[in-house]
Structure 1
Amino acid sequence: MAVIAGIFILGYFYPLLYAAAKMLLLAMGICIVIDSLMLFRYNQPVQAGRNLPKRLSNGDPNHISITLSHVYPFHASFTIIDELPFQFQRRNHHFDFKADAHKSTEISYELTPTQRGEYSFGALNVYASSPLGLVERRLRFNEEQSVPVYPSFIQMRQLELKAISDQLQDVGIKKIRRIGHTMEFDQIREYVRGDDVRSINWKATARANDLMVNQYRDERSQQIYSVIDTGRVMKMPFEGLSLLDYAINSSLAISNIALTKHDKAGFVTFGDHENMIVPAQKKRSHIYRIQEALYNVETNFMESDFNRLLTFLHNKVHQRSLILLYTNFQTLSSMKRKLPVLKHIASKHLLVNIFFINTELDDLLDSTPEDEEDIYIKTMAEKFAFEKRSIVRILNQHGIQTILTRPQDLSVNTINKYLELKARGLI
């Protein structure tokens, strides 16, 4: 069109060019009509749809696909603009491709949500054009689709599969050397080289005329509670996820592992004025109840009431349990204010206090200061890191187990601690 306009301008001075410009304009008009007929002669030439899972996993890449088929008898070009939920803040999510005549095409991509809740996808906009490329036809599909984002069930399944296949050490979960053995009897079997000779059952050996040993198994039906702080200290974000979401994902994973080990799993949330509990149960289907409850957990900017937590646990949890307390202590003084409550909980339960390393300070700790301001900043970073280590030491002195971990290693380290305590027979 720009060329034709230029020829029209020159045609003012050269009449022959003016006639040529009119012929070109007519030819272009004819091509546009032909192109329009090629695209619009079919009532519904394109079928497209977005294939969403029933739910998305928070903090994990989720597979999503788009399928497109068309009945055009020519090699068509397509542009797909997918309207993603506002939570992703992406406005340029589009795909350009060509499809042969009467062919179906599938496009796959991944989305990683960073917060739980309802996600609404908008329309799927498809722009089709013929080989002439003069006209585009827009079609819209899937006007709106909603899908919930749940705590990380993908991570839960991965750890469950590795627990079943005894491959947990491959993701950093170490094997724990058992100190002695538990007293829960399992069965009598034949002796094999390497068995503890102290487990030989001499009466069974005499009856069978062969060495027989007693086999023991881990004690079962022990209560495991994940206690999550929903106060302002859990609002801190790391790599897109808040500490609360890291704790929720870890709680779901450890609950599933506990149920796999035939223990009872439950969880508690506490804040400034509201507490919630899902009582520990042993049924495998209980994991779905835990998942649904974790889906609705939210935090605020208020400081959590640890005294209320103490009263709540006293009234609701009567059996000695493993308490995995997810919270965060930024300073030594904040921990000391809560230490009397933690000691009281530890006197009735096996308490594991889980809090977080501030990974944002790693670069500061490894940097070389160049001026006085850098020296001051690095000194403050080292002070925070030292206080975290001091918190671990003081809690251990009072008989409270601790996990100081990076947020991304939380699930692995928590499962490590659970397996260690179970192997040592402390639960």
Structure 2
Amino acid sequence: MQFLKSLYIHNTFFRYIAVLAGCFMLSFWIPILYPIAWILTLVLLGLFLFDIYLLYTHSKGLVANRVLPKKLSNSDLNPITIVFESFYPFKTYISLIDELPQQFQKRDFEHRTSLFRNEKKEFEYTVRPVERGEYVFGNLNVYASSALRIIKRRFVFQKDQMVPVYPSIIQMQQYDFLAISNNLTQVGLKKIRRIGHTQEFEQIKEYVAGDDIRTVNWKATAKQNQLMVNQYQDEKSQPIYSIIDTGRVMKMPFNGLKLLDYAINATLAFSNVALKKNDKTGMVSFSKKIETFVPAVQKLTHLNTILEKLYNITTEYTDSDFGLLYAHVKRKVTHRSLLLLYTNFEHISALKRQLPYLMGMAKKHVLVVIFFENTELEELISADAEDLQTIYHKTIAEKFSLEKRLMQKELQRYGIQTILTKPEELTINTINKYLEIKSRGLL
């Protein structure tokens, strides 16, 4: 049974059969072709048995191995490597079919190549998951055939490999590297002009053109007989909380990814940058109840705790209770903190219902409300209107777009910081706002 399960007929074999069938049919009018057709049939049968002998005399004709990372990164292109080697004494033609996880809904994966004796090759492809969770890779199927291409022998390797899909680790590492190398401006992160300075002293240095004359240290100047100034730095160890709304408004998808997952990816990347800037980071997720609360801590190992909590967050199909969030923040977050609230409002009436709670949090903390532009509406607005129905659709879209800007102004009117962003630009804009708040000394 094992032999029969591994034996497959090559497509070329059916072409040979078609030629033989044509010979038998023509022999009805050309009788001399009839014995030739039978000879060819016996030859094909002999080659069939010989091909079986070639492929099955070596018990270990092929070896293949799928190399998976320990974790896949959500919304990113993750490389998967397959290494295979042939031990057949002849050139082998390979057809490789990897059974991808059902979440990808891809059933036409195939890679073809050829291998000489003892030759080793690598094949790399990428997958882009758009959901967190467990992804199970099925069988790694390798079909080998000889130059005759009459039959194929199936080899099966690495059954049911599970790999978890976590929030975007690749994106986090990208911003981590840029923060260390001070190349944040390459991806749109901008330096904010400092207005005044914070009160955390760093060092005394010589005066250079452009230094604030208000920071001149007169005692040091008298000792050194040259102008010396105090240099200050951004305050460190400040508590920062990422608050994620897991209600139904965050279920909306853009480019295959839910708003919730955009917020989760941004939270992970931002938390990593804030920890590298020596601030304390924590997180809260809420809907009808407080689902997750991680107190703000200043340890790099704390990022693993945040990562595991983000991995298990799910979207609820109910309206979120901002009153409960306000009470929880008032009770648990006792020090003045930077609160980054990831949510979404589609109507200004929805914002006004939650405005008293937002104002309550903004009295003691620096609150930044982050909500999203509807990029599909923006595309509709920018398109040309060619008929009455399109004009109607554009008018409604412009109304919704205007409401977003009115909500932003309404929040700013009450002293609440805002970010109105496209989903794909969320991480950049969040880190920009963080750098701005730190530079302006608002926290």
Q: Secondary structure at the match of 1:97?
A: strand
Segments of 5+ residues of structure 2 without an aligned counterpart are 1-16
5 Å-filtered alignment, 1:271-282, equals 271-282=287-298
- Give per-residue Cα distances to partners, 1:284-340, cap 9 Å, x unaligned: 111111001100000111110111111111111111110000000001110011111
- Give per-residue Cα distances to partners, 1:227-265, cap 9 Å, x unaligned: 000000000000011000000001111111110110000
Match of 1:383 in 2: 399
Match of 2:177 in 1: 161
Match of 2:273 in 1: 257
Match of 2:3 in 1: none
Deviates more, 1:10-19 or 1:198-207: 10-19
Select 1:409's aligned residue among 425, 429, 435: 425
5 Å-filtered alignment, 1:72-111, equals 72-111=88-127
- Give per-residue Cα distances to partners, 1:170-198, cap 9 Å, x unaligned: 11111100011111111223334443333
Counterpart of 2:253, as a letter, is P
Cα distance in 1, alignment partners of residues 75 and 67 from structure 2: 20
Select 2:371's aligned residue among 342, 355, 365: 355
Counterpart of 1:312, as a letter, is H
Is the counterpart of residue 318 in structure 1 residue 334 in structure 2? yes
Cα distance in 1, alignment partners of residues 192 and 327 from structure 2: 34
Select 2:191's aligned residue among 175, 188, 196: 175
Counterpart of 1:257, as a letter, is V
Task: State the number of aligned residues.
Answer: 427
TM-score (norm 1): 0.97
TM-score (norm 2): 0.94
Match of 2:351 in 1: 335
Is the counterpart of residue 394 in structure 1 residue 416 in structure 2? no
Counterpart of 1:409, as a letter, is E
Match of 2:243 in 1: 227
Cα distance in 2, alignment partners of residues 79 and 106 from structure 1: 14
Q: Secondary structure at the match of 1:253?
A: helix
Counterpart of 2:336, as a letter, is R
Deviates more, 1:100-109 or 1:405-414: 100-109
Match of 2:301 in 1: 285
Cα distance in 1, alignment partners of residues 28 and 76 from structure 2: 65
Is the counterpart of residue 34 in structure 1 residue 50 in structure 2? yes
Q: Secondary structure at the match of 2:32?
A: helix
Please state how far the C-alpha of 1:206 moved relative to its aligned partner: 2.7
Segments of 5+ residues of structure 1 without an aligned counterpart are none
Please state how far the C-alpha of 1:21 moved relative to its aligned partner: 1.6
Deviates more, 1:187-196 or 1:75-84: 187-196
5 Å-filtered alignment, 1:208-247, equals 208-247=224-263
Aligned-residue CA RMSD (Å): 1.3
Cα distance in 2, alignment partners of residues 291 and 179 from structure 1: 34
| Contact 1:275–1:312 (CA under 8 A) maintained in structure 2 | no
Match of 2:200 in 1: 184
Cα distance in 1, alignment partners of residues 430 and 171 from structure 2: 13
5 Å-filtered alignment, 1:70-149, equals 70-149=86-165
Counterpart of 2:55, as a letter, is L
Counterpart of 2:267, as a letter, is S
Match of 2:14 in 1: none
Q: Secondary structure at the match of 2:194?
A: coil
Cα distance in 1, alignment partners of residues 151 and 170 from structure 2: 44
| Contact 1:275–1:309 (CA under 8 A) maintained in structure 2 | no
Cα distance in 2, alignment partners of residues 3 and 157 from structure 1: 59
Q: Secondary structure at the match of 2:66?
A: strand
Cα distance in 2, alignment partners of residues 70 and 363 from structure 1: 52
Cα distance in 2, alignment partners of residues 377 and 8 from structure 1: 66
- Give per-residue Cα distances to partners, 1:330-366, cap 9 Å, x unaligned: 0111001111111111111110000000001122101
Cα distance in 2, alignment partners of residues 27 and 66 from structure 1: 37
Counterpart of 1:166, as a letter, is N
- Give per-residue Cα distances to partners, 1:85-118, cap 9 Å, x unaligned: 0110100011011122220010001111101000
Q: Secondary structure at the match of 1:215?
A: strand
Please state how far the C-alpha of 1:132 moved relative to its aligned partner: 0.9
Q: Secondary structure at the match of 2:198?
A: coil
| Contact 1:85–1:119 (CA under 8 A) maintained in structure 2 | yes
Cα distance in 2, alignment partners of residues 15 and 260 from structure 1: 87
Match of 2:10 in 1: none
| Contact 2:61–2:87 (CA under 8 A) maintained in structure 1 | yes
Cα distance in 2, alignment partners of residues 35 and 317 from structure 1: 74
Moved over 6 A (4+): none
Please state how far the C-alpha of 1:12 moved relative to its aligned partner: 5.1
Cα distance in 1, alignment partners of residues 361 and 185 from structure 2: 31
Match of 1:304 in 2: 320
